[in-house]
Amino acid sequence: MTYDFHKLKTVSVANGEITLRIPERWGVWPDEDRPGFWGCYEKEDDGTEPDTGTLWIQVDHFIWEDDGAPLPRAMDMKREAEEAAARRKAASGEPLLESSITPVEGGYRWHHVYDTEEGGEGLRFWFSHFYLNQGGHMAVIAMNLVLTHAQMDDSEFVELREIMEREIGAAFLDPFQRDDEEAVENFLGPVRRCNFGDWIKLTLPEAMSIRVDETSAPSNPRWYCRLASGSSHAGMFVEARTLKLQDEDGDPAFLRPDMYQRVLEDIIGDGGNDRYVPMPDGVIAYGTYDDTNGVGEPNDDGVPFKGYRNHLWRHMRFIEGEAQLSTVLLMLPLQEPDRAPFPALAAYMHGAVRRAEFPGFPAPESY
């Protein structure tokens, strides 16, 4: 039997806190007995459950709400991961088959593998715990791929494990979205969902004005956004374009995920200090640089140019036969990039770009 595990779909669980790809043949089922748990596995229309692997997802939140700052001990995510690993070893008395703790954005990931038994059947767990924090808010996200011992050496299930390890590594973990919005709202007021010509949707502060750049081409539209702040302002460009992906015969091409970054690098060139962030269905390149060319020279209003500190995101998303490149360039006054509200806006935009919706692409299935 061919399982076609490489055919994937994008799903979003826990109100958008986790977005990742799973095999198309799997569904997502909230666990009625355990709030905060979801199972990803196959279920037939008659309720039977063919055993083609299972991914369990769990989300927990811990929030400090007192007036004082959180204790540094409570916010040490590496120590949280290390102590969880130590507790697991002490409880089982057996060494793990694999165990590693690595840094991730916002915290640490503890990846561990071990064997267990349920109902007389041997199982192997590939577990990833993500310990993440922002201010006084800690989130623990667990993803556990489960295969039977009979499956784990089968070539198709070896492929499934490799696929899911890759997709878990590329999952968008977003447990602090509301924290981000509250932080930027404290400086700039409410936010709203903005539709840029059905190319891309971003949630931006209502105080930010938006206009279409009339000089841009319909196939490569561009918008200019402006946020006034006292005597200064932040400017932002949003741009989008699509690229056709074809094979040697001119047919729509399916791009392998390990090629996403390479394709983006070929298009944008040497970004210097660009940092690449994997995403479900794509990749983001992010970098900052200072624009000092012409500093001191008067602009059209006769005011000397003071330079900008630019934050640049290039988000490329792929489907079969097509890719869309969306560019967001945030320009902050170089002489005062650290003056409120500019740092809050820059921090917020890093999450907002990753939360973007692409109306021309299939939306994630939400659970």
Q: For residue 349, is it within any domain?
A: yes
Mean pLDDT of 100-114: 95
One domain, residues 311 and 274: yes
Nearest of 148, 109, 107, 108 to residue 125 by alpha carbon? 148
Q: Quick one: pLDDT at residue 226?
A: 96
Q: What would the pLDDT profile of 165-181 be if each residue is shown by its tens digit?
A: 999 999 999 999 999 99
| Whole-angstrom distance, CA of residue 358 vs CA of residue 111 | 32
Is the separation of the CB atoms in 85 and 99 below 8 Å? Answer: yes
With a cut of 70, say whether residue 192 has pLDDT above it: yes
With a cut of 60, say whether residue 73 has pLDDT above it: no
CA 90 to chain centre: 34
Q: Which residue segment(s) compose the domain that 276 sits in?
A: 178-366
With a cut of 80, say whether residue 294 has pLDDT above it: no
Q: Cα torsion for 209, 215, 220, 222, to the nearest 10°?
A: -10
Q: For residue 299, is it within any domain?
A: yes
Report the CATH number that the domain containing residue 31 is assigned in CATH: 3.40.1000.10
One domain, residues 285 and 231: yes
Q: What would the pLDDT profile of 150-170 be if each residue is shown by its tens digit?
A: 999 999 999 999 999 999 999
283: helix, strand or coil: strand
Q: Quick one: pLDDT at residue 68?
A: 60
0.85 surpassed by pTM: yes
Percent of the chain whose pLDDT exceeds 70: 96
35: helix, strand or coil: coil
Residue 50: CB atoms within 10 A of its CB come to 12
DSSP codes, 199-259: TEEEEEETTSEEEE-TTSBTTB-EEEEEEEETTEEEEEEEEEEEEE-B-TTSSBPPPPGGG
One domain, residues 40 and 113: yes
Q: What would the pLDDT profile of 352-361 be if each residue is shown by its tens digit?
A: 999 999 998 9
Of 115-129, 158-172, 243-257, 289-303, minimum mean pLDDT range = 289-303
Q: Quick one: pLDDT at residue 14?
A: 94
One domain, residues 188 and 99: no
Q: How many domains does the chain have?
A: 2
Q: Quick one: pLDDT at residue 49?
A: 87
With a cut of 60, say whether residue 72 has pLDDT above it: no
One domain, residues 325 and 271: yes
Spatial neighbors of 331 by CB under 8 A, at least 6 apart, are 234, 235, 236, 237, 291, 308, 309, 310
Nearest of 362, 364, 257, 351 to residue 313 by alpha carbon? 351
With a cut of 70, say whether residue 348 has pLDDT above it: yes
Which of 154, 175, 196 is a domain's end point?
175
| Average pLDDT for the chain | 91
Q: What would the pLDDT profile of 55-69 be if each residue is shown by its tens digit?
A: 999 999 988 766 665
One domain, residues 223 and 129: no
